[in-house]
Amino acid sequence: PNICTVYEINETPDRLFFVMQFVEGQTLKKTINNKPMPVEQVIEISLQLADALAEAHSHGVIHRDIKSSNIMFTAEGEPVLTDFGIAKILSEVAHLSATGSVMGSPAYMAPEQAMGQPVDARSDLYALGIVLYEMVSGRVPFQADSPTAVMMQHISQPPPPPRQFNPQLPPAAEAVIQKALAKDPAARFNRVSELAAAFQAAVTSSEITLVNALFVRDPAATMVSGEPTAHA
């Protein structure tokens, strides 16, 4: 329900075209309007977007252009992910882009994507982390005079702490976003659903719950005095 429906794919003598669902509402970019959104609303939107991306990823589809202007709202206020125009199909027979090419929107681009390296679901997770950052702070983390300069910031610079722009954001929620925006894909969450769940826990639960969500990866975590020990 949170992915824009394609009803038909066809062509005329001079072009290919999609017949798509008409989404009446405005984009998430316009909804943010350079101001932080209430965290409760951010949780609701991020959970639905994570569901949409998880569905795409389960079919081997990497969006590669997640950004707030590609997320629209229905008349009922439901977020809808649009524009799979540069999506990559992860299969041996599909070669939609070669290593070394760069496609996407610089402000939301994962470091490996900016360097023209192979992308996977963790690249979309990074972009969703940028959207989360934008929703809680009212701005994207990296801004510069040129797209190339923005991409270089993604590759080499840490993002400014989002609490710098929104002191009301819980520190635990900031930690979740920072993990999603790790330069190394292996240091991010494994799945978009884990990112959304960790953000929800960071806002609604204790710091201890967050620590477990961020760092406990071994199901058989060591028990000390009846409490699980987190493994960083």
For residue 133, which of 171, 170, 174, 101 has the smallest C-alpha distance? Answer: 174
Residue 65 bears catalytic tag? yes
The one catalytic residue in 65, 120, 145, 184 is 65
Contact predicate 210/201, CB 8 Å = yes
For residue 49, which of 130, 163, 139 has the smallest C-alpha distance? Answer: 130
Q: Which amino acid is at 214?
A: L
Count Cα atoms within 13 angstroms, Cβ side, for 3. 13
Give the C-alpha separation, 33 to 94, whole Å.
38
Give the C-alpha separation, 148 to 1, whole Å.
35
Active site residues: 65
